[in-house]
């Protein structure tokens, strides 16, 4: 369990990262690559996922809203 609350991770490549049970509340994840990342049980309350790549990310049990997911890039946007 890590505390990355409020962290600016904009444009970071977190492909395959294990972020399960991580506190990412209010984190800035703009254009962050989270392909196949494990975000299970993560707290994403208030996190900005605008343009984030979430293809095949594990969001099981994560605290996240549909609005946040909608701001992320769709799988069709990913090369």
Q: 23-45: per-residue pLDDT in tens?
A: 999 999 999 999 999 999 999 99
Residue 3 pairs with which residues in a beta bridge? 23
Residue 75 lies in a domain: no
Cβ distance 8 to 28 under 8 Å? yes
Domain interval for residue 18: 1-68
Residue 78 lies in a domain: no
CATH number at residue 13: 2.160.20.80
Confidence of residue 1 (pLDDT cuts 50, 70, 90): confident
Question: How far apart are alpha carbons 1 and 23 in whole angstroms?
Answer: 8
Residue 74 lies in a domain: no
Q: Is the pLDDT of residue 50 over 70?
A: yes
Residue 61 lies in a domain: yes
Confidence of residue 68 (pLDDT cuts 50, 70, 90): very high
Which tokens belong to 12? Answer: 């970071």
Residue 73 lies in a domain: no
| Number of folded domains that form the chain | 1
């Amino acid at each position: 369990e890590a505390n990355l609350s409020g962290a600016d991770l904009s444009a970071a490549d977190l492909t395959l990262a294990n972020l399960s049970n991580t506190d990412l509340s209010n984190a800035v994840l703009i254009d962050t690559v989270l392909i196949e990342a494990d975000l299970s049980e993560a707290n994403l309350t208030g996190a900005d996922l605008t343009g984030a790549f979430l293809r095949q990310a594990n969001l099981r049990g994560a605290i996240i809203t549909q609005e946040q997911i909608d701001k992320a890039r769709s799988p069709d946007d990913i090369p």
